[in-house]
Amino acid sequence: MKNKIIISFLLLFFALHSAKSQRVEQSIPEKTRILFLFDASGSMLAPWGNELRIDAAKRVLTDLVDSLRVNDKIELALRPYGHLTPAKERNCKDTKLEIPFAPNNNDRIIDRLKYIYPKGTTPIAYSLEQSANDFPRDNNYRNIIIIITDGIESCDGNPCAVSLALQKKDIFLRPFVIGLGMEEKFASEFDCMGEYFNAKNINAFRTVLNGILNQSLSETTASVELLDQRGRPVETDVNVSFINTFTGISEFDFIHYRDQNGQPDTVEVDPVLSYDVVVNTVPPVAKRDVFLKGGTHNIIKIRTPQGALKVIQENTSEYDKDVQVLVRKSSQAEILNTQSLRSEDKYLIGNYDIEILTLPKIKINNITIMQGKTQNIEIPAPGRVNINYSSKGIGSLYSIDSDGKQTWIKKLDLRGGKASFGIQPGKYKYVFRSDRAMGSKYTQIKEFNIQSGQTLNIKIY
């Protein structure tokens, strides 16, 4: 009975430990704060359909705010601009947080909208900058801004720079910008701020606003299919990064996983953002400007066919430290990866050049990596050279090729009375001048050959 209790306790301990070690590290906050940055500048008095633009905007926004009162995971706030001073005063700080974030403040926002009247100018950049103070710092919330405007910046501000800076500081996610009856040519003024929608009429405004809410608040998932050369989703066990297209900052990082049925798993990602999905193979592969459809499961397919490379050498213990292999794309200077001898690393299929940092270095070009196969490269085992000398001096080692041409490969440290190092099979020349010698004519030269596994002792007097 005692043993059963102990076993049960151990099973419980390991289960709890396993659950703790597998906790979700990256998740989307359950709660959302939405700030409405609302244009109340003088231009909003222009007619739009059968009513004024300001009246239509307030009516549609009121309906939306009213519909959100049933969602207890949302907090709302209202910051108008251009509603405090007449346009002739050109007040470029004309903005105010009229209703701050709070639970169940829907009625306060609806009531305040009734008394907002268009007057002034359009300080979008300043209003956006001030909105940074509107969001209480709380990691349990996502922060979203919806900008509703009928005009572009009119105070010489830079809304794009402000938006980017605040997104990089993680103040809010990429803003949604709704243009009310604006000309198409102004789209470029807002694309750099966030995601822009042009509502040409009142019905389009309502549709866009509801679509933004659905995109922002619906649970959205994605799976990444890593395709091989034949388009099969069989690649896995590689880091996948979801990079914010706008800020360049990584929002989610996952080590790709396939279940026992070979299916890639599902992860929850934020649909407010657009992403550059980077698969960190060698070299990396990226799919740019990936937009996720909110409220559904998105499948992202990326071709990442891979094979492997392994450099094999016997008797590597002759070298004093691990020998590294530098890997480059064929005919390119950039080093893609550094791997150790006898390790097996994956690469995208294609041709590569390698440089093996033995003594001397070995270069092999145009190695072909094929889908699902390991390219084994075998190099000869090294030998060893022990050099003993009676006095300190200056020494260099040269390799000599089959045509008798020499290449300098190493300067030797001759301070300790001897030098010992592993070296590849081949023909070599050792050039040495003692620090006691009274002229270059006393330089000593010794040629020697090394075979795999051989130890050669050289004496210098």
Of the residues 378, 393, 423, the one at which a domain ends: 378
Q: Is the previous residue joined to 264 through a cis bond, with omega within 30 degrees of 0?
A: no
Answer yes or no: is 54 within a domain: yes
SS3 81: strand
- The average pLDDT across 383-400 equals 88
Residues 212 and 294 placed together within one structural domain of the fold: no
Percent of the chain with pLDDT over 90: 76
pLDDT score of 83:
95
pLDDT score of 419:
83
User: Is the C-alpha dihedral spanning 418, 362, 309, 339 positive or negative?
Assistant: positive
3-state helix, strand, coil in the chain (%, to 5): 25, 40, 40
Q: Is the previous residue joined to 283 through a cis bond, with omega within 30 degrees of 0?
A: yes
* Whole-number Å distance between alpha carbons of 84 and 292: 39
DSSP state of 293: P
What is the pTM (predicted TM-score) of this model? 0.85
- The average pLDDT across 282-287 equals 97
- The average pLDDT across 70-97 equals 94
Of the residues 217, 252, 268, the one at which a domain ends: 217
Banded pLDDT at 326 (limits 50, 70, 90): very high
List pLDDT tens digits, range 163-179: 999 999 999 999 999 99
Residues 94 and 201 placed together within one structural domain of the fold: yes
Residues 310 and 417 placed together within one structural domain of the fold: no
Residues 49 and 137 placed together within one structural domain of the fold: yes
Answer yes or no: is 8 within a domain: no
pLDDT score of 21:
53
Residue 188, both tokens: 């470029």
Determine phi and psi for 54, rounding to 5 degrees: -65, -40
List pLDDT tens digits, range 187-229: 888 888 999 999 999 999 999 999 999 999 999 999 999 999 9
Answer yes or no: is 236 within a domain: yes
Determine phi and psi for 197, rounding to 5 degrees: -125, 135
Residues 192 and 291 placed together within one structural domain of the fold: no
pLDDT score of 19:
44
* Whole-number Å distance between alpha carbons of 414 and 117: 87
Answer yes or no: is 22 within a domain: no
Answer yes or no: is 160 within a domain: yes
Residue 370, both tokens: 């094929």
pLDDT score of 420:
87
List pLDDT tens digits, range 338-380: 999 999 999 999 999 999 999 999 999 999 999 999 999 999 9
Q: Where are the alpha helices (DSSP H) in 40-105?
A: 53-67
The CATH number covering residue 395 comes to: 2.60.40.1120
Q: Residue 19 is which amino acid? A: A
pLDDT score of 1:
53
Higher per-residue pLDDT: 185 or 330: 330
Q: Give, to the nearest 10 degrees, the angle between helix 106-114 and helix 53-67.
A: 170
pLDDT score of 18:
47
Average pLDDT in the chain: 91
The CATH number covering residue 258 comes to: 2.60.40
Residues 343 and 420 placed together within one structural domain of the fold: no
Nearest Cα to Cα of residue 399 among 376, 372, 427:
427
Residues 72 and 147 placed together within one structural domain of the fold: yes
DSSP labels for 202-254?
HHHHHHHHHHHHHHHHS--EEEEEEE-TTS-S---SSEEEEEETTT--EEEEE
The domain in which residue 454 lies consists of: 383-460
DSSP state of 320: S
Banded pLDDT at 393 (limits 50, 70, 90): confident
Banded pLDDT at 387 (limits 50, 70, 90): confident
Nearest Cα to Cα of residue 79 among 143, 4, 145:
145
List pLDDT tens digits, range 232-267: 999 999 999 999 999 999 999 999 999 888 889 898
Residues 102 and 212 placed together within one structural domain of the fold: yes
- The average pLDDT across 5-21 equals 50
Banded pLDDT at 15 (limits 50, 70, 90): very low
Banded pLDDT at 9 (limits 50, 70, 90): low
Residue at token pair 């209703």? 99
Residues 225 and 148 placed together within one structural domain of the fold: no
Residues 143 and 274 placed together within one structural domain of the fold: no
Of the residues 378, 399, 417, the one at which a domain ends: 378
The CATH number covering residue 127 comes to: 3.40.50.410
Determine phi and psi for 119, rounding to 5 degrees: -140, -55
Answer yes or no: is 184 within a domain: yes
List pLDDT tens digits, range 398-433: 999 999 999 999 887 666 677 889 999 999 999 988
Residues 295 and 326 placed together within one structural domain of the fold: no
Residues 293 and 411 placed together within one structural domain of the fold: no
Determine phi and psi for 426, rounding to 5 degrees: 155, -175
Residue 25 pLDDT > 80: no
pLDDT score of 231:
95
Answer yes or no: is 79 within a domain: yes
List pLDDT tens digits, range 430-447: 998 887 878 888 888 999
pLDDT score of 249:
95
Answer yes or no: is 18 within a domain: no
Q: Residue 257 is which amino acid? A: Y
Q: What's the number of domains the chain is made of?
A: 4
